[in-house]
Amino acid sequence: MVTEKYKGKVVLITGASRGIGKAIANRFIKQGAFVIGTATTEVAARKITTDLTADNASGTGLVLDIADKSSIEIFDNNLKAFKAPDILVNNAGITRDNLLMRMQDADWEEVINTNLTGMYRVTKLCLRAMIKTRYGRIINISSVTGLSGNSGQCNYAAAKAGMIGFTRSLAREVGSRGITVNAVAPGFIETDMTHELTSAVRDAVLTQIALGRLGRPEEIATVVDFLAADEASYITGQTISVNGGMYMG
């Protein structure tokens, strides 16, 4: 059943084809929002449209590669067919893990360009309309790695910590316009991203998690929903950790 909590609101979620982004899209669609979910391919974008429009809900999938300026321009044009997003979830992200001594320039550049610059580009694209309507919710999906650091993830940690600095700065810039900007820092969550880990790394990670298990994408979506809701109107510039007690800084 679809409720009316977000009726009339447009929610843009980058990287909604899988994992955490898909769970966030499902959460908003069930609460009456019009959801625009992005994927990097036409096939995946069409699948998002099919999923979102089941059960009389309304939404669409659009193609977007946040690492590619020309893709962002095309996306911006396609976005004009819809009401401007009231809520933006910058979720799309990648990893290219390696110890710094072995890291290739391309691994560094791809992760920074996607995770950090991509977020900057998409946010800029949505901000003007939010300022005009004097309402907006921007939620950036950072990572526990951006807070605690993680061996083998200098590129990813730099991008994810950068997202937190961006979140705090933008919160100060646009707070007076009724726009809140927050980050969510997930711990290890069961998605394609963590399925890539070897069982040895996975076991080592588990020993560090107070709750003794990986998180579920839905457990991140719950917190995104909380930050997007009217009840969270006095929360901005914050980073909410959702990590099962893996890091308590």
Q: Which of 59, 61, 93, 136 binds ligand NAP (CB under 6 A)?
A: 93
**Could you give the CA distance from residue 3 to residue 19 in angstroms, rounded to a whole number?**
23
Q: Which of 31, 114, 148, 182 binds ligand NAP (CB under 6 A)?
A: 114
**Could you give the CA distance from residue 215 to residue 193 in angstroms, rounded to a whole number?**
13
| Smallest distance, ligand NAP to C-beta of residue 19, A | 2
Give the footprint of ligand NAP on residues 26-85 (CB under 6 A): 38-41, 44, 64-67
Q: Which amino acid makes up residue 183?
A: A
Q: Which of 112, 193, 205, 235 binds ligand NAP (CB under 6 A)?
A: 193
Does residue 189 touch ligand NAP according to CB under 6 A? yes
Residues 89, 21 contacting (CB under 8 angstroms): yes
Does residue 17 touch ligand NAP according to CB under 6 A? yes
78 Cβ neighbours under 8 A, 6+ residues apart: 62, 63
Q: Which stretch binds ligand NAP (CB under 6 A): 50-58, 96-104, 183-191, 226-234?
A: 183-191
**x-marked contacts with ligand NAP along 116-145 as a string, rule CB under 6 A:** -------------------------x-x--
Residues 239, 185 contacting (CB under 8 angstroms): yes
3-state percent helix, strand, coil for the chain, nearest multiple of 5: 50, 15, 35
Give the Cβ contact number of residue 37 at 10 Å: 32
| Smallest distance, ligand NAP to C-beta of residue 58, A | 20
Helix axes 69-79, 118-133, angle to 10 degrees: 30
Over the Cα atoms of the chain, what is R_g? 17
Residues 200, 174 contacting (CB under 8 angstroms): no
Does residue 188 touch ligand NAP according to CB under 6 A? yes
Marked catalytic residue, from 6, 156, 234, 247 = 156
Is 234 considered catalytic here?
no
Does residue 97 touch ligand NAP according to CB under 6 A? no
| Smallest distance, ligand NAP to C-beta of residue 18, A | 4
| Smallest distance, ligand NAP to C-beta of residue 214, A | 7
Does residue 244 touch ligand NAP according to CB under 6 A? no
**Could you give the CA distance from residue 209 to residue 171 in angstroms, rounded to a whole number?**
30
Give the Cβ contact number of residue 36 at 10 Å: 28
Q: Which stretch binds ligand NAP (CB under 6 A): 28-36, 190-198, 202-210, 233-241?
A: 190-198
List the catalytic residues.
156
Q: What does the binding site for ligand NAP look like in residue numbers (CB under 6 A)? A: 14-15, 17-21, 38-41, 44, 64-67, 91-94, 114, 141, 143, 186, 188-189, 191-194
